[in-house]
Chains A and B, each alone.
Chain A
Amino acid sequence: MSARDRRNPAALAQGVAAGDRLALARAMTLAENEQPGAHAMLSALFPRTGQARIIGVTGAPGTGKSTLVTALAKAYRNAGLSVGIAAVDPSSPFTGGALLGDRVRMRALSGDDGVFMRSMATRGSLGGLAKATNEIVMLLDAAGFERIIVETVGVGQAEVEIARTAHTTLVVEAPGLGDEVQAIKAGILEIADILVVNKADRPGADRTIRALELMLELGADEPRYAGHHGIIRYPAGQESPLPGHEWQVDVLKTTAVNGAGVEALCGHIEAHWAWLEESGELAVRGRQRIAYALESIIRAELNQRVAAAMPQTDVDRVIDAIYAHETDPYQAAAKLLSPENAEG
């Protein structure tokens, strides 16, 4: 690909479809930067998507997510499957800069054309993923990668966006990070399709496993899908997963650094896929993902229109007025958004 084609959306879409790795990398940049033509490029590639299985890996910082992603990717490669990886690290809220360090742990994957790994900065997104994660996943899918692993930032308790992106969400824990009460709080643990206790060779691993199993037992009467990812949109004619087909969340042990337990984890991910297919949940989650992606695209477009319609000088003036208590933020917001203001 010539340097001239670097930002030509049509050429990039063709390149991605043809398996050109540089075109794929540059298509990702175009999408991530929301540059002109990015939507046209993604539209052109959309018919090629929907083939990959998407695995989300989330958990607190230091639980070994990157190492586990590397071990999973190696296992898939051994099985002859191509692997795309999107790994997210935080952007600085002050400078917008970021230090993306996931490659340090992933050196074992270098030199393999069956792997494509992209580091992403959150760029102001707060849910544990980067703003353009969906687009990067779409591009890896369109390029033909069979398994796509999405690694979130090191999360706290409430970053649950990954469950809207992935088919199967792994929540990674490590020994010594919290007690039983942490395990029964709402949020991150609730989105797990599979719970993984990594660094299982460390002392305290069995206690962590027991705490998580206890948490699962306490919630065993509730169907796991209920309120799972917020608003659920079922396909026509189906109201919920078929009775007797609820997924059983299990706790698995891995030591990613030496590969122990990773084979079993892969098997469990495959079993989850089989469950998604037979229970009808695959369609449910597929529609959810589309609803979410659609909402994001519309929201971004609206943000842009609002920003374009509202000169910064107006906003600054209003902020001054609110600061001086001449008006309040609610009235001011309504006034800024009123049609008269947009026209004037």
Chain B
Amino acid sequence: MNQEKIRVLVAKPGLDGHDRGAKVVARTLRDAGFEVIYTGIRQTPGMIAEAALQEDVDVVGLSILSGAHMTLCPKVVELLRAQGQDDVIVLVGGIVPDEDIPRLREAGVHGIFGPGASTREIADFIEQAVAQRDGQ
């Protein structure tokens, strides 16, 4: 019997310790029926990529409030690709200035969610992106 579950890694890269947003999102995605692997704060891109590999996740969600997204996000995408996980969907949540959005997309980030985004929106986005990836 096919029991596929969408697995999502929620990580907080960088040095700010404000993890309330990440926890709220992790909780919401759990309630949406996903298996959420929560890694906690102060993760390096290397740690995130390693966890994404061992957990074989469909989605990596990065929560960044420190302003370091232009350094950290492309690095995570690059490491995921280098280890053969080019099919992982990468999302960023947090404070991202408008002018950075196209640059993040170019760097391989699939979805960017600012402070106004509803948690339902994020869950729907994940469901659609995974279905699209799997050609459904």
Contact = CB atoms under 8 A, between A and B. Distances in A.
Interface of A: 1-3, 6, 21-22, 25-26, 28-29, 32-36, 91-92, 95-101, 103-104, 107, 110-111, 116-119, 121, 123, 300, 303-304, 307
A313 B23 CA distance: 40
A119 B37 contact: yes
27 contacts: A6-B87, A21-B54, A22-B53, A22-B83, A22-B84, A26-B56, A32-B3, A33-B3, A35-B2, A92-B30, A92-B33, A96-B5, A97-B33, A98-B35, A99-B27, A100-B36, A100-B37, A100-B38, A103-B39, A104-B38, A107-B43, A107-B47, A110-B50, A111-B50, A116-B54, A121-B35, A123-B3
Contacts of B26: 99
* A-B CB proximity, top 3 nearest: A25-B56, A104-B40, A97-B30
A101 B53 contact: no
- Where chain A touches its partner, the secondary structure class is mixed
A21 B5 CA distance: 21
Contacts of B4: 33, 35
Contacts, number: 96
Interface residues of B, number: 34
B54 A98 contact: no
Contacts of A1: 84
Interface in B20-75: 26-27, 29-40, 43, 46-47, 50-51, 53-56
B32 A95 contact: yes
A71 to B, nearest CB: 18
A150 to B, nearest CB: 15
Contacts of A22: 53, 56, 83-85
A111 B43 CA distance: 12
A98 B30 contact: yes
Given A103-B40, A111-B46, A111-B47, A29 B56 contact: yes
B2 A96 contact: no
Contacts of A307: 1
Interface of B: 1-5, 7, 26-27, 29-40, 43, 46-47, 50-51, 53-56, 83-87
Contacts of A92: 30-31, 33
B27 to A, nearest CB: 7
A21 B52 CA distance: 11
A95 B37 contact: no
Contacts of B84: 1-3, 22
A35 B5 CA distance: 11
Contacts of B55: 25, 118-119
B37 A103 contact: yes
A117 B54 contact: yes
B33 A25 contact: no
B86 A99 contact: no
